[in-house]
Amino acid sequence: MTAARTIVFDLDGTLVDTAPDLINALNFVLDREGLPPVPLLSARNMIGAGARKLIERGLELEGRTMGFEDVTRLTGDFIDYYAAHIADASRPFEGLEGALDDLGARGYRLAVCTNKLEWLSKLLLDQLGLSARFSAICGADTFGVSKPDPAILRQTVARAGGQLSSAIMVGDAGPDIGVARRAGVPVIGVEFGYTEVPIADLQPDRLINHMRDLPAAVEALMLLRNGT
């Protein structure tokens, strides 16, 4: 029996525009430290490496550094606040649900591979009514490794019931391109996400600027995978 063709998505900046709620949570902890808020536009591209890194980057913007224990304390406060406000303003990117419907109708299995914590990822997707669409939702703590370590992608595909030989990654930033390359999986880059380096400069196999273009990009890459 042929393994299910599997499309693996990053979460923040790829499936969902989570920046407003993430930056609100960052500004909550910065305010508690007596620091000014970071603007949403300048902070968007700091997202994608997990909560702790986001806080460290936020502190760097204000010219501040803190010790490991203090950053750990702020990370705990951030996660508590963020979990309570995880879908206040976060919304799926335009065209996402139609694209997922299309891919599902074509027989693709869908999965999420993110550097967000698994329980936060599931909480967000639950609140947005998207969880049931995915055969696996895996975060940085699911397997003990984060992108771009290829183990997280390999194990996400396996948990979804797929095989790497019939999988494609979709993401918005360097860790997504990196994990796909290291795992030997084609990758589609989205231009509307969060990245300090323009996604085009990272040379994904396909580039889209709207989710409506995703099914055609997936089909084109899958044909190449199959050598047809």
Q: Note the pLDDT tens digit of each residue in 79-130.
A: 999 999 999 999 999 999 999 999 999 999 999 999 999 999 999 999 999 9
pLDDT score, position 3: 66
pLDDT score, position 228: 52
Domain range for 216 is 4-17+91-225
pLDDT score, position 43: 84
Both 130 and 63 in one domain: the answer is no
Both 49 and 151 in one domain: the answer is no
User: Catalytic site residues?
Assistant: 10
Both 122 and 190 in one domain: the answer is yes
Query: How far, CA to CA in Å, does 179 sit from each of 75, 107, 188, 227?
Result: 25, 24, 12, 23
Both 206 and 111 in one domain: the answer is yes
CATH number for the domain spanning 28: value is: 1.10.150.240
Q: Are 54 and 40 in contact (CB under 8 A)?
A: no
pLDDT score, position 172: 97
Both 110 and 65 in one domain: the answer is no
Both 125 and 99 in one domain: the answer is yes
User: According to DSSP H, which parts of the chain are helical?
Assistant: 19-32, 40-43, 51-61, 68-84, 96-105, 118-127, 150-159, 174-183, 214-225
Over residues 169-211, the pLDDT tens digits come to 999 999 999 999 999 999 999 999 999 899 999 999 999 999 9
| pTM, 2 dp | 0.94
Both 68 and 130 in one domain: the answer is no
Q: Are strands 4-9 and 162-171 parallel, antiparallel or unpaired?
A: parallel
Number of domains in the chain: 2
Over residues 5-38, the pLDDT tens digits come to 999 999 999 999 999 999 999 999 999 999 999 8
Both 25 and 96 in one domain: the answer is no
CATH number for the domain spanning 13: value is: 3.40.50.1000
Both 95 and 180 in one domain: the answer is yes
Both 12 and 34 in one domain: the answer is no
The backbone torsions φ and ψ at residue 205, rounded to the nearest 5 degrees and listed phi first, read -70, -30
pLDDT score, position 62: 79
pLDDT at 1 over 50: no
Both 145 and 215 in one domain: the answer is yes
Query: Of 28, 55, 84, which one is at a domain's C-terminal end?
Result: 84
Both 137 and 25 in one domain: the answer is no
The residue type found at 91 is R
pLDDT at 152 over 50: yes
Over residues 53-93, the pLDDT tens digits come to 899 988 988 788 888 999 999 999 999 999 999 999 999 99
Computed over every residue of the chain, the mean pLDDT equals: 94
